Structure 1
Amino acid sequence: MTLTYIQQINEAASFIQSRLGSVSPTVGLVLGSGLGDMANQVEQPIAIEYSDVPHFPVSTVEGHEGRFVIGTLEGKQVIVMQGRFHYYEGYDMKKVVFPVYVMKAIGVQTVVMTNACGGMNRSFHAGDLMLISDHINMTGANPLIGPNHAELGVRFPDMSEAYNREYRSLARKLAASVVGEDGVPLQLQEGVYAGITGPTYCTPAELTMLARIGGDAIGMSTVAEVIAARHAGLKVLGISCITDMAIGEELEPLTHEQVVAVANRTKPKFIALVKAFVREVQLG
């Protein structure tokens, strides 16, 4: 018998809950390329491989470990996605966002979405962190296309505040106290994330177009997951690691290995900011 989408979500959530005992995560962290070490900060960790969870896809991209890490971070119980799924891997959008609904089903209220991306704003630099204020969906797809499941959310979700204003204000305040291992304070940028399908990096003309329509950074994830999170009533903070500059008129060749390398160098400031946010954020 073929299970419905709701049944698959519930089975996956029940499996995860069966492994958690008394742990009940309220904050979800989705970690992008090269940022998975954040999971090492979790205390008393419980690791669950994606491949063990019913109906779960498997992450196939370098820099995405493919497991949940659940435990305590800065006094709050969290569930960390050490790796995510992408449309370009061949998964349909409903599969890409499946973990978001599963996290909601186990009690998560707030999600921190992170990614590695290219900077299109000329004031940015590789290694900066960017607070996502909004996004532009350039994928040509939407995870909510098809029959709506009222148990998950309304048919026409409002996206006027996809990235929570209070969370962004809190992150800006906390960033002022974050200092890297080099002694340099964190310069937190803020801007609009343009989401594309990938897996190719953009052409110079495409980047020029996206910058002209309002994009400050570009990447191949996050947008669909945020749509699903808002559909499910979750509050979202988005943080991008600018791993390279994607200026159309000045574009140079890029590899995924370069992206991961820059993300690795940025990790200390990224981890400090996320930990501070988890510690200070008020839930409910």
Structure 2
Amino acid sequence: MWEKVQQTVNYLKEKNSYTPSFGLILGSGLGNFPDDIDVEFTIPYKDIPNFPQTTVAGHHGNLIFGKIGNKSVVAMQGRFHYYEGYSMQEVTFPVRVMKFLGVEHLIVSNASGGVNPFYRVGDIVLIYDHINFMPQHPLRGANDERFGPRFVNMSEPYSHEMINKAKEIAVELQIDVKDGIYLGLQGPTFETHAEYRMVKILGADCVGMSTVPEVIVAKHMGMECFGVSVITDISDEKSVATVSHKEVLEAAAKAEPKVRMLIKELIARY
């Protein structure tokens, strides 16, 4: 793993001279965020050594370098999922690459199903904690101390400081945001009624198929994380019966302008 990460990092450094401080994983809700970046360099995943290829509709598959205000950023336009058939090491490989490119702050976005009765479709949730229900842990196996410690402190997976700053910005911009605990499941099936009830009983507010592995690996390497989720379906009988990937993308698209504005300002001001 170490050699592959360094090979990829060296390749990207040869292609451009950017040293990004912010990394973004643009899942559902931020797919068009590159429009807000002063783009300096774009490279398709297929051209990057050791990078997996995204297979999910709505995930474009580009690594984008540029600036937001005076902050240098690198953005993944599309992420990888365990359900696509990749190992957890492959899913989280780009996060390790980001760290060695210079990234100290990781921002992740996703779409999720809401079980909190106060949530509505289109709500923007600032993730302050998560529950890992993925079938494999991204740190399973021999630990390489060059990446991070064997046992990782996960008492603050999502930065309280970044969350508080985002809330200040949300009030200023009149963007309604919620707090929430995110539970990660493997997918790719949407949850059954019973599974939604389980998620609620376990103490989560929303559920999805990503984010948790990336954040664990980011914390393993000492990165500060911020997560935002767009609620694209609700765990009532009507919503569960009709939910589809098309509906998820449509709901995320409606919330996207507000999410983009919030993230853009957070990066510029943090």
TM-score by length of 2: 0.97
Task: Select between 169-178 and 76-85 the one with higher mean Cα deviation.
Answer: 169-178
Structure 2 counterpart of 1:203: 192
Over 3 Å counting, the alpha-carbon distance change for 1:278 and 1:247 in structure 2 is: same
Structure 2 counterpart of 1:181: none
Structure 2 counterpart of 1:118: 113
Shift of 1:248: 6.5
Q: What amino acid maps onto 2:254 in structure 1?
A: R
Structure 2 counterpart of 1:30: 25
Whole-angstrom distance in 1 between the partners of 2:67 and 2:257? 19
1:219 maps to 2:219: no
Task: Select between 169-178 and 84-93 the one with higher mean Cα deviation.
Answer: 169-178
Structure 2 counterpart of 1:191: 180
Q: Quick one: which of 265, 269, 274 aligns to 2:254? A: 265
Tell me if structure 2 keeps the 8 A contact 1:205–1:248.
no
Shift of 1:44: 3.4
**Equivalent residues in 2 for 1:66-81, closer than 5 Å:** 66-81=61-76
Structure 2 counterpart of 1:49: 44
1:148 maps to 2:143: yes
1:89 maps to 2:78: no
TM-score by length of 1: 0.93
Q: What amino acid maps onto 2:58 in structure 1?
A: G
Tell me if structure 2 keeps the 8 A contact 1:204–1:249.
no
**Equivalent residues in 2 for 1:134-173, closer than 5 Å:** 134-173=129-168
How many residue pairs match? The answer is 270
Q: What amino acid maps onto 1:147 in structure 2?
A: A
Tell me if structure 1 keeps the 8 A contact 2:233–2:240.
no
Q: What amino acid maps onto 1:14 in structure 2?
A: N
1:279 maps to 2:268: yes
Shift of 1:51: 0.7
Superposed CA offset, 1:14-49 (max 9, x none): 11111112x211100111125210012111331011
Whole-angstrom distance in 1 between the partners of 2:222 and 2:48? 23
Whole-angstrom distance in 1 between the partners of 2:187 and 2:40? 33
Task: Select between 40-49 and 107-116 the one with higher mean Cα deviation.
Answer: 40-49
Task: Select between 215-224 and 239-248 the one with higher mean Cα deviation.
Answer: 239-248
SS of the equivalent of 1:225 reads helix
Shift of 1:186: 1.6
Identity of aligned residues (%): 39
Unpaired segments ≥5 residues, structure 2? none
Q: What amino acid maps onto 1:276 in structure 2?
A: E
Q: Quick one: which of 9, 14, 20 aligns to 2:16? A: 20
Q: What amino acid maps onto 2:258 in structure 1?
A: K
Tell me if structure 2 keeps the 8 A contact 1:27–1:77.
yes
Q: What amino acid maps onto 2:74 in structure 1?
A: I
Superposed CA offset, 1:230-255 (max 9, x none): 00110001111111112479732211
Tell me if structure 2 keeps the 8 A contact 1:131–1:239.
yes
Tell me if structure 2 keeps the 8 A contact 1:163–1:236.
yes
Tell me if structure 2 keeps the 8 A contact 1:164–1:235.
yes
SS of the equivalent of 1:101 reads helix
What is the CA RMSD across the aligned residues, in angstroms? 1.2
Shift of 1:67: 0.7
Shift of 1:117: 1.0
Whole-angstrom distance in 1 between the partners of 2:151 and 2:244? 38
Q: Quick one: which of 53, 58, 75 aligns to 1:58? A: 53
Unpaired segments ≥5 residues, structure 1? 179-184
SS of the equivalent of 2:32 reads helix
